[in-house]
Amino acid sequence: MKMESSLWLVPLMIALAASWSSTAVVQGQLKNGFYSSSCPKAEAIVRSAVESAFKDDPSIAPGLLRLHFHDCFVQGCDGSVLISGPNAERSAPQNLGIRGFEVIDAAKTQLEASCPGVVSCADILALAARDSVDLVTKIQLLNLLKQSNGPSWAVPTGRRDGRVSSASQAAVLPSPLDSIAAQRQKFAAKGLDDHDLVTLAGAHTIGQTECRFMSYRLYNFTATGNADPTISQSFLAQLQTLCPRNGNGLKKIPLDRDSHGNFDTSFFKNVKAGNGVLESDQRLWDDANTRRIVENYAGTIRGLFGFRFDFEFSKAMIKMSGVEVKTGRDGEIRKVCSRVN
């Protein structure tokens, strides 16, 4: 990572301190090192489980990140998405394709053997999301693909697990079809603003989606007979090759055209160029306020005239992971993450 001039570091750090201070209010009773006495190896155990899964399948990283996001948007970050059952949250259409449950279960099994009844499933999920991003960044560096610019962060812990999981409540989740107005409303309902919306959308710099979630943009978009006009012509041809009309809707395609294995800012450059894969991502360019944030992240001089995505993503994740958390005597500490005690 290149070192910019120290002249701008002071105001930057002041701004960061102010942001972290406001984030702490959202966290409530969460704190860094919550398990330092009750289960000192908790974070290391979660990390080991994530590393093991990542070694076998690196695509698990965006899966765990998405799983945490989906958990936090429904009833807060309480592990409710992990509960199984025909009418549980994870069975909702909005949660189609979410994955990573086996990684959380593996970590929980080890934690119960080491510290029974201490570490919540909600905290395991928050830690696993952080570790996933960190591992992607480490691989970037080890493979010498590029400088390691990805984020990592200290995860405030102390969440307790929810006892309710309902598929009907998953309707509040953001959708790939959402307009900016719809996205803004859903984020605002969780105390998240436009800056958080755009920053968290940047998680799509890693991972894949399936043709069925975006092919409607390529053929007869809104019954016009044409493709979505916001897609650049060169990218449209590429997408139509990847997802042909009446083709396999389950085929996976990268969410980031240029570097879906790297946690970087190319996602924002793609949105700026009309190369966003999901409609909801490309719509970030339609609104003046979200466009300004996209432009800041896509800028060529990182941190000097724009936002530092690695810093801002970490802050946004900490803020999101504090949404409507259960602490103290609320909720419970599940013994098995897929069912209430």
* 195 flagged as catalytic: no
Of 103, 83, 251, nearest in space to 170 by CA: 83
Residue 74 assigned as binding residue: yes
Contact yes or no for 107/25 (Cβ under 8 A): no
Residue 174 annotated as binding site: yes
Q: Is 264 annotated as a binding residue?
A: yes
Phi, psi of 254 (to 5 degrees): -65, 145
Between CA 240 and CA 252, with CA 246 as vertex, the angle to 5 degrees is 60
Residue 137, annotated ligand binder? Answer: no
- Which helix (H) or strand (E) is 253 found in, with range? strand 252-254
**Terminal CA-CA length for the chain:** 46
Catalytic member of 68, 70, 195, 260: 70
Q: Does 266 show up as a binding residue in the annotation?
A: no
Cβ burial 290-302 (10 Å sphere, 16+ → b, else e) = bbebbbbbbbeeb
Distance CA 317, CA 309 (A): 12
Helix axes 309-320, 9-27, angle to 10 degrees: 10
Has 71 been labeled as part of a binding site?
Answer: yes
**Helix (H/G/I), strand (E/B), else coil: 316:** helix
Does 23 belong to an annotated binding site?
A: no
Burial of residue 15 (CB within 10 Å: 0-12, 13-18, 19+) is exposed
Q: Is 58 annotated as a binding residue?
A: no
Give the span between the Cα atoms of 165 and 143, in whole angstroms: 41
Question: What are the b/e assignments for 218-251, b being 16+ CB within 10 Å?
Answer: beebeeeeebbeebeeebbeebbebbeeeeeeee
Q: Is 196 annotated as a binding residue?
A: no
Q: Is 178 annotated as a binding residue?
A: no
254 is in an annotated binding site: no
Q: Which residues contact 228 (CB under 8 A, 6 or more apart)?
A: 217, 218, 221, 279, 282
Cα(143)–Cα(220) distance, integer angstroms? 42
Detail the residues annotated as belonging to a binding site for heme b. Answer: 204
Detail the residues annotated as belonging to a binding site. Answer: 71, 74, 76, 78, 80, 89, 174, 204-205, 256, 264
Any idea which residues carry the catalytic annotation? 70
Detail the residues annotated as belonging to a binding site for Ca(2+). Answer: 71, 74, 76, 78, 80, 89, 205, 256, 264
